[in-house]
Amino acid sequence: MIGVSTLDLSNNEYGPEVLWPVAAEMDVSSTFGCEMAQVEYLLLNIEGQQKMYWDLKTSITQEDRVLIENGPNETELAFQLYITGMMEGAYEDTRLNIAFEDQAFGNKGYSLYCPTSSVGCGFTEFKITHFPNQAGKWIRGQFKGDFWIKSFHPLTAGYRVMEGEFQVYRDF
């Protein structure tokens, strides 16, 4: 057995220790320091401000694109990520679309609207790191881009760097 814990560098505070049995092979994908990370989530980072969202869903659109969005009861975030040709690996910007609005994000609130562009939305990196062949398994990915984003407080618009990582069940 080995002990694993987290450390908050800002105040040297340690989290609870998790005992992990030592084996020839370790499945780190099923061991989480945060119990909520065992469900669907999206972590967004816009210009250093981060926010975590829960309860995302996956589906197939009429155009045969994979849609990752927040659940129907979620009022905090209207998030939609469209992916053409879902598979494991890196994607070109022209195969991706995104839209979201959260007026409570950080101290500004943000909106990004690019659900149908065929010339790209501003993704500089997009990668699906885990894509299962069947429903009921985890899809994991990460992205980064320079997006045209509106802020609400104050009301401005401009290019902002946004990064994200997500984990959702394959529901289709």
pLDDT by residue (tens digit) across 77-121? Answer: 789 999 998 899 999 999 999 999 999 899 999 999 999 999 999
Structure tokens at 72: 């129907």
Q: Exposed/middle/buried for 165, CB within 10 Å: 0-12, 13-18, 19+?
A: middle
- Please give the residue that has the higher pLDDT: either 54 or 16: 54
Q: Exposed/middle/buried for 1, CB within 10 Å: 0-12, 13-18, 19+?
A: exposed
Inter-CA distances, 86 with 40, 70, 89, 152, Å: 18, 18, 9, 33
74 pLDDT band (50/70/90 cuts)? low
Average the pLDDT over 117-135 and give the result. Answer: 94
pLDDT at position 86 is 82
- Residue 106 region by backbone torsions, left for phi larger than 0, else alpha for psi between -120 and 50, else beta: left
pLDDT by residue (tens digit) across 142-163? Answer: 999 999 999 999 999 999 999 9
pTM of the model: 0.75
